[in-house]
Amino acid sequence: MEKKTVAVIGSGAVGSYYGARLAEAGHDVHFLMRRDYHAVSISGLNITSPDGDIRLSHPKIARSSNEIGPVDWVICALKATSLLEAKNLLAPCVTEHTRILVLMNGFGLEDRFAAWFEAAKIFGGLAFTCINRGRPGYVHHLGYGRVTIGHYLNDRNELANALSLWKETRVDVVTAPSLLKARWEKLCWNIPFSGLCVAAGGITTDKILADADLRNSARILMEEVVRAGNADLRSHGENVSIDGPTMIENMFKMTSTMGDYRPSTMIDFVEGRAMEIEAIFGEPLKRARTLKIDVPYLSLLTAILRSLNRERK
């Protein structure tokens, strides 16, 4: 394995977990830390996981990206609500050969990174996982964990390059031939389930499946997302499309295996934190409207979620 230097920008639960897996596999991983810097400098970074616990006694941690400097790979795992800080946080780590994996929730994020840096450098990562932060320095990986990676220009060689970084880690990584399609497919789950879990008062995904009204609302939201996604793919000249009925059936089937799952947006909601509403709902809605796709459920849901998110930080 070729050892790479990696900067994890945004060492929340997701950044810490996947960064620790890269370090475990032998890469030279630097974590940009805020809240947990002091605790980790004393007690290390501690991950509990069904795929094997990790304890990094002395991980390389930094309080600023300048301390890290140029790397081979940047893993950007900021919360989408901090998107505007991303450019300055990443810049010191990015040189000509650096690659950037945007391991964040939401839609249209890679467009920003491609504008700030260079399109060919940019990858999107879609983590399907359940990870929570514990006390400072502790992260709990509860289940799942697969990461789907797409390249901003859908370049196959670049995808192979990305795969090689993860090759000897314990992370199940797959590549997506179309990043845009992968993002829309993720929204097919995130919009109905994260959205309704919040709007219906902070409930778990099993409650949506068990309630005929909410289940039907979830289905209609998925249908809207599929229509918008396919229109978007067409508008980008991509020669792929989402098979709505199959996708929807799979999403319901998968969700039924998840039990009383708490989407991260719902956890943010019940714990009083800012939710990633614009990235997950607002941007796809804007795109659907631009494409003149009628998405009434998404429109109302987004209006409600924006209101619930007001004045949160």
- Residue ranges that bind a copy of itself, judged by CB under 8 A: 196, 199-201, 203, 207, 211, 213-214, 216-217, 220, 296-297, 299-304, 306-308
Q: Least distance in Å: CB of 290 to a copy of itself?
A: 16
Q: Which is nearer to a copy of itself, 71 or 301 (CB)?
A: 301
Q: Please report, in angstroms and rounded to a whole number, the separation of the first and last CA atoms in the chain.
A: 41
CA distance linking residue 86 with residue 13, whole number of Å = 17
Q: Least distance in Å: CB of 75 to a copy of itself?
A: 34
Contact between 19 and 11 (Cβ < 8 Å): yes
Is residue 167 annotated as part of the catalytic site, yes or no? no
DSSP lists the bridge partners of residue 6 as 29, 73
CA distance linking residue 231 with residue 125, whole number of Å = 22
Q: Least distance in Å: CB of 208 to a copy of itself?
A: 9
Whole-number Cα distances in Å, 264 to 104, 155, 303: 12, 30, 19
Q: Least distance in Å: CB of 275 to a copy of itself?
A: 12
CA distance linking residue 68 with residue 1, whole number of Å = 22
In the chain, the amino acid numbered 21 is R
Q: Which is nearer to a copy of itself, 54 or 301 (CB)?
A: 301
CA distance linking residue 9 with residue 304, whole number of Å = 31
Q: Which is nearer to a copy of itself, 10 or 192 (CB)?
A: 192
Candidates 193, 185, 196; CA nearest to 229 is 185
DSSP lists the bridge partners of residue 147 as 127, 173
* Active-site residue, selected from the candidate residues 186, 253, 292, 313: 186
Q: Least distance in Å: CB of 142 to a copy of itself?
A: 25
Q: Other C-beta atoms within 10 Å of 311: how many? A: 5
Q: Which is nearer to a copy of itself, 40 or 218 (CB)?
A: 218
CA distance linking residue 205 with residue 118, whole number of Å = 38
Which residues belong to the active site? 186
